[in-house]
Amino acid sequence: MDMSLISGLLAAQAGSMQMQVAATVLKSNMDSEKSAVMTRLGAGEQNVSSLANVAAGIGGNLDVTV
């Protein structure tokens, strides 16, 4: 076989491997970001649900100016 053909095939295999690794790392990062967002959204839901049993009118006149 011609050395340039072999060289080209090896380079293509290496490129394919790099793309697979990059895709795996990207998916891992996206899963991590999704988990962080879901945690933040869940924390907000917990705060709302903890106020579900308070009496009517509580917090109606809340002054949030700094």
pLDDT digits (tens, 9 = 90+) for 4-20: 899 999 999 999 999 99
| CA–CA distance, 14 with 11 (Å, rounded to integer) | 5
Looking at residue 49, its pLDDT comes to 59
Looking at residue 38, its pLDDT comes to 82
Looking at residue 36, its pLDDT comes to 85
Provide the strand spans (E) within the chain. Answer: none
| CA–CA distance, 3 with 52 (Å, rounded to integer) | 73
Task: Give residue limits of the domains in the chain.
Answer: 23-48
| CA–CA distance, 2 with 8 (Å, rounded to integer) | 10
